[in-house]
């Protein structure tokens, strides 16, 4: 019986064979490296290992890549044995400097750390885990020359035996995540992420594909390559919309998902093994284009709950491997400059330094997808852009807000309404009902129906040029005469938050960035009584009555307005010379220094125009700047 890859032969069938017998049982493809085949047919293990060392020796055409499986280490509940393997394969620190004039003495022979790890593992009966198999598969070609012949062949044999049954690759064991970790995630974001999305890609796509590359000369290796690449292409289309935007359930673990594809693309480019067809390549480049605005100045990804050990190098690797034409321009604008004296050459996988394109990127730094369930609002492509990212495919809507690269909010935007003795959280099926982006601002509006309770619209506007944003919640069809309302914005840990002594504004400071938040639906001065409260925890609560209500909060971070006096008031809204109740329409004016804004929201439709601050409008929402002459310059008009 001959051993071929991609079948369903159990590894137990080969366990009783000696190394010589096992080597003779391997079936080789026509055209395999002659030295390997000849040594295998003779059962000459030392000669076979020597031929493998020569075959896998790095060259200018085949540079050795450092351990990249560490990118996926966070995907697993890591055991002490896996931690020891990571220490064995990661680059060691620089050796100590030798003292001049020191007398040379014979140095003891020190075993390679990977060999030490393997020998210690061999003394246990537990099988290889998914991450251990991936790491050994990736590192064996680079480490083989440093290992003893028995250890080198033992690892090669073990990896080949597992690859002999393609089903075994998808069934390698892993430890589950801890309960405390899951509880903390639910408390912060409102739901639990699904590790299956990236782990399935690793087990079912990367492991068979990489095994097919490493054991290219063995019969059946093409089956592993085809199985891995076909499923990889299927997963790419399955997890993205038609324009390439990844579904929002991928975003919390996006780096782990990208790590798998990036490793495959890098290895495919070096080994000259095609990964997928031209359409899939273009679709993946579109995916990179859509997620590029999520990259923070340090290379981490917005909304993601896992980050890579060296996030900057990882972001560079992801973009370069994708083949996106704007990669260099994007990286030079998205990432903060390296500190003085540190240089890093941007080199493609073929070893050729790319041309230096202009910094302009042909697309806007924003994205919105109804199908994918997320949107990113961003002022520009620069590293210190202001950005708001919203994910809304889960019952809990999450928001991440950063100013000049400093994250301020990150987590679930939680709200609830209490009518009588029943409290209802604002969770359910969120729909994007309006998206607008232009040179003035980005705007998104999301809607949620809670049958028999309330209709909710959430508005987010990010100014492109005026250094402010508006975050508002509009309630309609409230099924009760009186209600209590509470909303909580997800401030990150470490934010310095204080309340003003004279007004109801809240002041925030983080990483040198200072912000002011104004709850314009409440009276600006404390001397005026109100049932509402806006606190330093960035939580708002109030009691009100009526069938509709509007709660806009303006956040300002302009240095020119940092110490300026702020005043605001609720405006009279009229229709045909009749003053409307707050449940019909809501208007507010806020003045900070020399700057003024008008915020208007219609809460009940009408065919007649309405007047607010001398401005007549048919629009449902008006957000505009009040000029010195009293004219309104619209920043956003929503029908």
DSSP-assigned states of every residue in 566-609: EEEEEEPEEETTEEPPTTTEEEEEEEETTEEEEEEEESS--SS-
Residue 208's contacts (CB-CB under 8 Å, 6 or more residues apart) are 6, 163, 166, 169, 224, 225, 227, 228
- DSSP of 199-218, one letter per residue? HHHIIIIIHHHHHHHHTTTB
| 3-state SS, residue 333 | helix
Average pLDDT over residues 108-137: 85
Strands, DSSP E only, in 259-397? 367-369, 374-378, 387-391
**Domain 367-563 falls in which CATH fold?**
Beta-galactosidase; Chain A, domain 5 (2.70.98)
The mean-pLDDT minimum among 51-65, 189-203, 558-572, 624-638 falls in 51-65
Number of Cβ within a 10 Å radius of residue 444: 23
Q: What are the residue ranges of CATH 1.50.10 in the chain?
A: 12-87+112-334
Of 601, 527, 520, 588, nearest to 556 by C-alpha is 520
Range of lowest pLDDT (125-134, 434-443, 501-510, 564-573): 125-134
Q: Percentage of the chain with pLDDT > 90?
A: 72
Question: Confidence class of residue 347 from pLDDT cuts 50, 70 and 90?
Answer: very low
User: Which residues, in sequence order, are CB contacts of 224 under 8 Å at separation 6+?
Assistant: 5, 6, 163, 166, 208, 209, 211, 212, 215
Residue 337, pLDDT score: 76
Residues 239/250, Cβ–Cβ less than 8 Å: yes
Helical H segments across 90-148, by residue range: 113-122, 130-143
Query: Out of 211-220, 235-244, 292-301, 344-353, which region has the weakest mean confidence (pLDDT)?
Result: 344-353
Q: What are phi and psi for residue 389, nearest 5 degrees?
A: -115, 135
Instruction: Report the residue count for the chain.
Output: 639
pLDDT for 127 equals: 87
pLDDT at residue 357 in the model: 38
Q: Is the pLDDT of residue 254 over 50?
A: yes
Tokens of 443: 């705007």
Q: Identify the pLDDT of residue 175.
A: 62
Angle 275-279-282 (CA atoms, 0-180°, nearest 5)? 85
Cβ atoms of 10 and 170 closer than 8 Å = no
Dist. CA 91–CA 100, nearest whole Å: 26
What per-residue confidence (pLDDT) applies to 76?
A: 87
Contacts of 528 (CB under 8 A, 6+ apart): none
Scan for tokens 């704007």, then name that residue: 326
Calpha distance 295→299 (Å, rounded): 6
Question: What is the rounded average pLDDT of the residues 586-602?
Answer: 95
**What is the model's pLDDT at position 12?**
56
- Is residue 132 predicted with pLDDT exceeding 70? yes
Do 237 and 180 form a contact (C-beta atoms < 8 A)?
no
- As a whole number of angstroms, the distance between CA 175 and CA 177 comes to 7
Q: Which of 608, 609, 612, 610 is nearest to 599 (CA)?
A: 612
pLDDT score recorded for residue 106? 54
The phi and psi torsions of 13 (rounded to 5 degrees) equal -65, -25
| Mean of pLDDT values over 340-348 | 41
Span 34-40, average pLDDT: 94
Residue 303 pLDDT greater than 60, yes or no: yes
Percent of the chain with pLDDT over 70: 91
Location of structure tokens 């620069």: 382
**pLDDT range class, residue 212, cuts 50, 70, 90:** very high
pLDDT for res 431: 95
Residue 264 clears pLDDT 80, i.e. is over it: yes
pLDDT band at 99 (very low <50, low <70, confident <90, very high): very low
Asked whether the predicted pLDDT for residue 348 surpasses 50, the reply is: no
Residue 346: pLDDT band (50, 70, 90) is very low
The per-residue pLDDT for range 42-77, each reduced to its tens digit, is 999 999 999 999 998 877 666 767 789 999 998 888
Contact 33/55 with Cβ under 8 angstroms?
yes
| Confidence check: pLDDT of 1 > 70 | no
Rounded Cα–Cα distance for residues 55 and 504 (Å): 71
Give the tens place of pLDDT for each residue, 11-34. Answer: 556 778 999 999 999 999 998 999
The residues facing 519 across adjacent strands are: 553
> CB neighbours (10 Å) of residue 517?
22
All CATH 2.70.98.70 domain ranges of the chain, comma separated, are 367-563
Q: Radius of gyration over alpha carbons of the chain, in Å?
A: 30
Instruction: Name the one residue in this structure whose structure tokens are 């020597």.
Output: 50
pLDDT (0 to 100) of residue 124: 77
- Has residue 94 got a pLDDT over 70? no
Q: What is the DSSP letter of 170?
A: T
Q: Which CATH class is domain 12-87+112-334?
A: mainly alpha
Q: Which residues contact 632 (CB under 8 A, 6 or more apart)?
A: 598, 613, 615, 622, 624, 625, 626
pTM of the model: 0.90
Q: Residue 354's CB: how many other CB atoms inside 10 A?
A: 12
d(CA 606, CA 603): 10
Give yes or no for a contact between 386 and 469, defined as CB atoms under 8 angstroms apart.
yes
Confidence of residue 104 (pLDDT cuts 50, 70, 90): low
In this structure, is the dihedral angle defined by the CA atoms of residues 351, 356, 359 and 364, taken in order, positive or negative? negative
State residue 172's pLDDT score: 83
* C-alpha span between 122 and 288 (Å, rounded): 42
Helix (H, G, I), strand (E, B) or coil at 127: coil
CB contact at 8 A, 475 and 548: yes
Dist CA 556 CA 552 (whole Å): 13
How high is the pLDDT of residue 340? 42
Q: Which residue has the higher pLDDT, 526 or 497?
A: 497
Strand partners of residue 399 = 390, 411
Longest Cα pair distance anywhere in the chain, in angstroms? Answer: 101
pLDDT of residue 360: 59
- DSSP at 208: H
Of the spans 97-111, 123-137, 451-465, which averages the highest pLDDT? 451-465
Asked if 436 contacts 443 with a C-beta cutoff of 8 angstroms, the reply is yes
């Amino acid at each position: 019986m001959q051993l071929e890859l991609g079948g369903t032969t159990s590894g137990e069938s080969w366990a009783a064979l000696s190394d010589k017998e096992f080597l003779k049982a391997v079936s080789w493809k026509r055209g395999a490296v002659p030295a390997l085949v000849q040594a295998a047919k003779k059962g000459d293990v030392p000669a076979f290992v020597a031929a493998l060392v020569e075959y896998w020796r790095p060259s200018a055409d085949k540079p050795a890549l450092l351990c990249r499986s560490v990118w996926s280490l966070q995907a697993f509940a890591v055991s002490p044995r896996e931690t020891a393997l990571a220490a064995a394969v990661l680059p060691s620190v620089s050796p100590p400097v030798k003292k001049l004039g020191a007398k040379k003495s014979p140095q003891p022979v020190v075993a390679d750390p990977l060999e030490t790890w393997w020998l210690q593992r061999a003394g246990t009966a537990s099988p290889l885990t998914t991450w251990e198999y991936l790491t050994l598969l990736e590192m064996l070609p680079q480490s083989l020359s440093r290992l003893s012949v028995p250890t080198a062949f033992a690892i090669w044999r073990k990896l080949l035996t597992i690859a002999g049954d393609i089903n075994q690759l998808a069934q390698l064991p892993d430890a589950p995540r801890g309960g405390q970790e899951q509880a903390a995630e639910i408390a912060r974001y409102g739901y639990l992420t699904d590790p299956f999305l990236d782990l399935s890609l690793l087990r079912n796509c990367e492991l068979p594909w990489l095994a097919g590359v490493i054991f290219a000369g063995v019969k059946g290796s093409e089956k592993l390559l085809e199985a891995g690449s076909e499923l990889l292409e299927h997963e790419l289309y399955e997890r993205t919309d038609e324009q390439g935007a990844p579904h929002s359930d991928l975003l919390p673990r996006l780096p782990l998902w990208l790590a798998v594809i990036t490793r495959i693309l890098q290895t495919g480019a070096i080994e000259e093994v095609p990964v997928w067809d031209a359409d899939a390549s273009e679709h993946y480049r579109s995916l990179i284009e859509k997620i590029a605005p999520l990259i923070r100045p340090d290379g981490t990804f917005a909304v993601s709950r896992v980050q890579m050990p060296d996030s900057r190098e990882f972001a560079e690797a992801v973009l370069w491997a994708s083949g996106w034409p704007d990669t260099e321009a994007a990286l030079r604008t998205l990432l903060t400059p390296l500190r003085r004296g540190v240089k890093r050459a941007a080199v493609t996988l073929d070893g050729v330094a790319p041309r230096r394109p202009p910094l302009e990127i042909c697309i806007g730094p924003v994205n919105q997808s109804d199908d994918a369930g997320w949107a990113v609002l961003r002022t520009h492509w620069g590293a210190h852009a202001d950005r708001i990212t919203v994910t809304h495919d889960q019952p809990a809507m999450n928001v991440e807000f950063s100013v000049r690269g400093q994250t301020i909010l990150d987590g679930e935007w939680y709200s609830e309404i209490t009518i009588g003795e029943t409290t209802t959280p604002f969770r359910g099926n969120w729909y994007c009902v309006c998206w607008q982006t232009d040179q003035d601002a980005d705007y998104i509006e999301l809607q949620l129906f809670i049958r028999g309770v309330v209709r909710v619209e959430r508005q987010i506007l990010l100014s492109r040029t005026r250094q402010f944003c508006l975050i508002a919640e509009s309630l309609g069809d409230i099924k009760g005469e009186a209600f209590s309302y509470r909303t909580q914005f997800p401030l990150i840990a470490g934010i310095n938050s204080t309340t003003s002594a004279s007004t109801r504004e809240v002041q925030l400071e983080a990483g040198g960035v200072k912000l002011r938040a104004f709850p314009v639906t409440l009276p600006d001065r404390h001397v005026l009584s109100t049932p509402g409260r806006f606190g330093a925890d960035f939580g708002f609560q109030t009691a009100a009555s009526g069938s509709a209500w509007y709660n806009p909060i303006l956040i300002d971070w302009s240095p020119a307005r940092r110490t300026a006096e702020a005043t605001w008031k609720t405006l009279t809204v009229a229709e045909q010379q009749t003053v409307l109740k707050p449940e019909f329409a809501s208007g507010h004016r806020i003045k900070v220094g020399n700057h003024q804004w008008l915020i208007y929201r219609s809460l009940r439709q009408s065919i007649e125009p309405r007047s607010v601050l001398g401005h007549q409008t048919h629009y449902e929402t008006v957000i505009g700047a009040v000029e010195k002459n009293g004219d309104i310059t619209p920043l956003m008009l929503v029908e």
